[in-house]
Amino acid sequence: MDLLIASAASLLLVSCVFLLLENTSHTSIIDFVWCFGVTLASVFYAIYPDAEITNLGWHLIGLQLLWFARLGGMIIYRTFALEKEDGRYRRLRESWGEGYRKKLFRFYLFQGIGIILFSLPVWSALLLQTEITKFGIVGETLCLIGTIGAFSSDWTLTRFRKTPANSGQVCKAGLWRYSRHPNFFFEWLYWLGLAFMGINGLSSLWIFVFPVMVLVFLLFITGVPTVEAQALRSRKEAYLEYQQTTSTFVPWFPKNLAE
């Protein structure tokens, strides 16, 4: 029942946001709404149905709120402090033409489905486990490392973009020296940690389908392909060299093209 309630609420939420934003230049706020929806659904799972939160539930609520503060805060900051409209959404409006409104609504509904899918790791962990086990400690550690690593990556990139002299250049500072997408790697590490927190015997290993799902999204659907395509459009030569020397996902030492 809790999953059905969360699913209906997620679709209603993105529909209302669509009606509010469809004629504005702030349609990218759906990214923040998605982040907020995942967090709200996760907290709901922890307190439903009788508000008696388990030990694991408290830990998951804390981790999700920390995740939301990191990702949601960065989305809001970039939206209002760095650019009036996210370039991805501007290009979508231009390419969709007269069918923009209908396609934007479908896109928002897809984000609503995304809220449901990305809240399933917490739902599953709470279904399988009530206490913090040894695996749970490993999972919580991975979640914290993932949160810190993603924040460090995002903040480094944000500061790089704020410097006018870096226009047209590729960020190779900090973790970006070792991975073209360190923010995505550490984001995935967070979701891997959530799976570890739900382990309760061999029969529960199916929970690792969720970090695999997130990995597929990041590497092949909404993450790496979209960002790399935009990077090649805006910084072609510099980014082509970056691709040749730097790991795509897992941080590793860069190659020396002179060798």
pTM: 0.90
Query: What's the total number of domains in the chain?
Result: 2
3-state SS track over 149-199: HHHHHHHHHHHHHHCHHHCCCCCCCHHHHCCCCHHHHHHHHHHHHHHHHCC
Give me the domain span that covers residue 242.
132-259
Domain-ending residue, one of 129, 162, 190 = 129
Q: Are residues 145 and 124 in the same domain?
A: no
Domain-ending residue, one of 103, 129, 155 = 129
Peptide bond connecting 211 to the previous residue in cis, omega within 30 degrees of 0: no
Tell me which residue has tokens 């998951």: 60
What amino acid is encoded at 254 in this protein? P
Q: Are residues 151 and 259 in the same domain?
A: yes
Q: Are residues 84 and 194 in the same domain?
A: no
Residue from 98, 101, 127 nearest 27 by CA: 101
pLDDT in tens, 38-86: 999 999 999 987 778 999 999 999 999 999 999 999 888 887 776 666 6
Token representation of residue 179: 């991975």
Q: Are residues 8 and 86 in the same domain?
A: yes
pLDDT in tens, 117-162: 999 999 999 999 999 999 999 999 999 999 999 999 999 998 898 8
